[in-house]
Amino acid sequence: MAIKIVMLKSLEDVIAEVKEVFSGDKVVHYILENPFTLTFREEAKVKFYPYAPLSADKNISIPSDWVVSVVEPIEEIKNSYLENINEKSESTDS
């Protein structure tokens, strides 16, 4: 699983399992699976909110020209993300 933080032109930081879609040797889209927007709160706390919360889609395609950067999250953020996904899938299964 390639969990990354994708920084968008909209100034959003989105954490997701990221897959690249190529046309030849050029990335044209990024597929974000189970994306969450990251927000930073006072006291250095990070909150997770579903990206496109009104959408039923679990996979969202983002054009590569909308992406500013793709970075590796620190371990603490990655673990929190995985916990959020597990909680979400458990509540959906019930």
Closest CA to 15 of 65, 74, 55, 56: 74
Residue 58 carries which DSSP code?
S
Query: pLDDT value at position 43?
Result: 75
d(CA 44, CA 77): 12
pLDDT of residue 70: 97
- Is pLDDT of 94 > 60? no
In angstroms, what CA-CA distances link 35 with 26, 42, 55, 62? 23, 23, 11, 11
| 36 residue type, one letter | F
Instruction: List the one residue out of 49, 50, 19 whose CA is nearest residue 33.
Output: 19
Average pLDDT score over residue span 63-91:
91
What is the number of other CB atoms lying within 10 angstroms of the CB of residue 64?
15
| Tens digits of residue pLDDT in 12-71 | 999 999 999 999 999 999 999 999 999 987 777 899 999 999 999 999 999 999 999 999
The domains of the chain, with CATH numbers, are 3-93 (2.30.30.100)
pTM above 0.85, yes or no: yes
- Please state, in angstroms and as integers, the Cα–Cα distance from residue 72 to each residue in 25, 55, 78, following that order: 22, 26, 9
Confidence of residue 86 (pLDDT cuts 50, 70, 90): confident
Confidence category of residue 90, pLDDT binned at 50, 70, 90: confident
